[in-house]
């Protein structure tokens, strides 16, 4: 049953909405920005996040993160990803909404030292739950470079399907590459959520090699 029927049910819902077993989501704070900027410019993520490997000055990136995570727009939401065990910020995630169509684009970046541990998988699960159960979205999409095979595998396990490709839109190492567009609809997500398989837990989510960067920003 999805309807909140009493005070206790409402409190339990809001308390658990942005909290998983290993990570939780909270507002981005000013002292998070230095670390988030460092990860954005980390050589290990540049080719996965950006169409051109070109580090961006720290203050410029800090201002962008402030804008992306201000949460003052009814259409866009951004959170810090925090490890439960020690309250360490390990990344940032968000949903960039469309004013029409109840649709949003999912974005995420994790610090390279926190990949391959299942944190990205759980973050995907939390953001899908937030988007469908709280924002009432009908569709959530994401974009990833075709060579980011580990991330694409994780998204497939979470229930996303490949909807199309923009061919030869990125250029690295002297070669063109595709952009993969993936999506999941509310009617595809709700059965998985109600069965307890929101992020493909039965299908190897969090496996070695997981890396979940999108480049929607």
Q: Which pLDDT does position 196 carry in this prediction?
A: 82
Instruction: Note whether residue 17 is domain-resident.
Output: no
For residues 111-116, average pLDDT: 90
Q: Say which CATH number the domain at 74 has.
A: 3.40.630.30
Task: Please list the residues that pair with 77 across neighbouring strands.
Answer: 95
Provide the terminal-to-terminal Cα distance of the chain, rounded to the nearest Å: 36
CB 77 within 8 A of CB 66: no
Give SS3 for 201. helix
Instruction: Note whether residue 105 is domain-resident.
Output: yes
Q: Which pLDDT does position 45 carry in this prediction?
A: 85
Instruction: Find the domain containing 180 and state its range.
Output: 22-203
Number of Cβ within 10 Å of residue 2's Cβ equals 8
Mean residue pLDDT of the chain comes to 89
**Strand-strand pairing, 23-26 and 76-83:** antiparallel
Domain count, the chain: 1
188: CB partners within 8 A, 6+ apart: 159, 161
Please tell me the distance from the alpha carbon of residue 70 to that of residue 18, in angstroms, as a whole number.
17
Instruction: Note whether residue 193 is domain-resident.
Output: yes
Q: Which pLDDT does position 202 carry in this prediction?
A: 32
Instruction: Note whether residue 158 is domain-resident.
Output: yes
For residues 177-201, average pLDDT: 88
Residue 5: band (very low, low, confident or very high) from pLDDT cuts 50, 70, 90: very high
Residue 20: band (very low, low, confident or very high) from pLDDT cuts 50, 70, 90: very high
Q: Which pLDDT does position 214 carry in this prediction?
A: 66
Instruction: Note whether residue 76 is domain-resident.
Output: yes
> Of 28, 43, 37, whose CA–CA distance to 57 is shortest?
37
pLDDT at 184 over 80: yes
Please tell me the distance from the alpha carbon of residue 23 to that of residue 190, in angstroms, as a whole number.
21
> Nearest 5°: phi and psi at 66?
-60, -45
Q: Would you call 46 exposed, middle or buried from its count of C-beta atoms within 10 A (0-12, 13-18, 19+)?
A: middle
The DSSP code sequence of 22-47 is SEEEE---GGGHHHHHHHHT-HHHHH
Residue 213: band (very low, low, confident or very high) from pLDDT cuts 50, 70, 90: low
Instruction: Note whether residue 95 is domain-resident.
Output: yes
Please tell me the distance from the alpha carbon of residue 198 to that of residue 195, in angstroms, as a whole number.
8
Instruction: Note whether residue 15 is domain-resident.
Output: no
Instruction: Note whether residue 198 is domain-resident.
Output: yes
Residue 200: band (very low, low, confident or very high) from pLDDT cuts 50, 70, 90: low
Number of Cβ within 10 Å of residue 151's Cβ equals 25
Q: Which pLDDT does position 75 carry in this prediction?
A: 85
Q: Which pLDDT does position 10 carry in this prediction?
A: 95
pLDDT at 69 over 90: yes
Q: Which pLDDT does position 205 carry in this prediction?
A: 31
Q: Which pLDDT does position 100 carry in this prediction?
A: 75
For residues 58-66, average pLDDT: 94
Instruction: Label residue 102 left, alpha or beta by phi (over 0 means left) and psi (-120 to 50 means alpha).
Output: left
pLDDT tens, 120-148?
999 999 999 999 999 999 999 999 999 99
Number of Cβ within 10 Å of residue 83's Cβ equals 16
Q: What percent of the chain has a predicted confidence (pLDDT) above 90? A: 77
pLDDT tens, 34-47?
999 999 999 988 88
Q: What percent of the chain has a predicted confidence (pLDDT) above 70? A: 90
């Amino acid at each position: 049953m999805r309807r909140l029927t009493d005070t206790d049910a409402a409190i339990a819902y809001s308390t658990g909405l942005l909290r998983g077993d290993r990570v939780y989501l909270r507002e981005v704070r000013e002292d998070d920005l230095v670390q988030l900027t460092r990860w954005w410019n980390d050589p290990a993520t540049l080719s996965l996040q950006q169409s051109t490997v070109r580090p961006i000055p720290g203050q410029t990136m800090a201002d962008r993160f402030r804008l992306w995570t201000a949460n003052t727009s009814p259409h866009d939401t951004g959170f810090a990803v925090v490890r439960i065990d020690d309250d360490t910020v390990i990344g940032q995630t968000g949903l960039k909404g469309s004013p029409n169509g109840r649709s949003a684009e999912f974005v995420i970046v994790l610090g390279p030292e926190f990949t391959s541990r299942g944190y990205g998988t759980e973050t995907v699960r939390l953001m899908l739950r937030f988007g469908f159960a709280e924002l009432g979205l009908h569709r959530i999409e994401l974009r990833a470079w075709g060579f980011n095979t580990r991330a694409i595998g994780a998204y497939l396990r979470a229930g996303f399907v490949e909807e199309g490709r923009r061919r030869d839109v990125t250029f690295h190492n002297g070669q063109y590459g595709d952009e993969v567009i993936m999506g999941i609809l509310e009617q595809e997500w709700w059965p998985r959520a109600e069965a307890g398989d929101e992020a493909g837990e039965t299908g190897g989510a969090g496996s070695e090699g997981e890396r979940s960067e999108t480049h929607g920003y």
